[in-house]
Amino acid sequence: MPSLSTTAIVCAVRHHGEHGAIIRLLTPDHGLLPGYVRGGRSRALRPVLLPGNIVKADFRARTEDQLAGLTVELAQSRAPLLAEPLPAVAIDWSCALTAAALPEGTPYPALHQALDGVLGAVEAAPAARGWAVALVRYELLLLAELGFGLDLTRCAVGGDTDDLAYVSPRSAAAVSRAAAVGYEARLLPLPPFLIEGGMGDWTQLLDGLRLTGFFLERSILIDRRADILAARERLVDRLKRAVA
């Protein structure tokens, strides 16, 4: 990718040297891409290079192996949301997850569209219930896109498609209420909104986050990437306090 001009979502920012920054952007057609922004720590660029913002990005590199130089122009700012506790942790987590989980340079158009939808929902919804469902669905999609999808279509034990109420932590497959009798404590609750659609109440939303969090931690957020789980813990903790 010697050169590329595209819109993109800012997912991660890391200071580099005294004045620069290395930015990781999720693009619609080229996936997650890094670039070096000269003066990225300046007063002018700091409000542009915030996770969740949408930028017009120009990548320039002499070779495909070289870290591209990057110039950015703000297209849409979500900076005001970062002053609000719940929206701030939702943006922080969803962008950090994307930056940590995705390999660079692999197109994930569905994930780009879904992340943009999550951030748009955080921006538009008056309360967390308006975007929490979108976030759970984004995490499920990310698991599926990376090869760790859950099978929520039928019971792993009997093949039933009705009354699916749990997920096996071993097989990542749904289990019906009847088949789960006696084993409920070993299984993860499956919130109805993941099967039937709709919003779900707070208990179901927290069950959804518990479900996706288990598989994200087991399959993706391992080794050096496990430290970003702190961002997710802050999110879940704030959601619990919001409904207490």
Cβ neighbours of residue 129 closer than 8 Å, sequence gap 6 or more: 199, 202, 205
Burial class (CB within 10 angstroms; exposed 0-12, middle 13-18, buried 19+) of 112: buried
Question: Please, what's the b/e burial string for 27-57 (b: 16 or more CB within 10 A of its CB; e: otherwise)?
Answer: beebbbbbbbbeebbeeebeebbbbbbbbeb
Residue 101 contacts residue 114 (beta carbons within 8 Å): no
Main-chain phi, psi angles of 234, to 5 degrees: -65, -40
* Predicted local confidence at residue 175, as pLDDT: 98
The DSSP 8-state label assigned to residue 202 in this structure reads H
173 or 40, which is more confident?
173
Which domains are present in the chain?
3-77 (2.40.50.140), 81-152+190-243 (no CATH)
Q: How far apart are the first and last CA of the chain?
A: 49
C-alpha dist (Å) from residue 135 to 38, 48, 114, 144, 218: 33, 24, 9, 14, 18
pTM: 0.93
- The predicted pLDDT at position 6 comes to 96
Taking Cα atoms as reference points, which of 124, 63, 57 lies closest to residue 90? 124
Rounded to an integer, the average pLDDT of 57-68 is 84
**Residue 107 clears pLDDT 90, i.e. is over it:** yes
pLDDT tens digit sequence for 149-207: 999 999 999 998 999 999 999 999 999 999 999 999 999 999 999 999 888 899 999 99
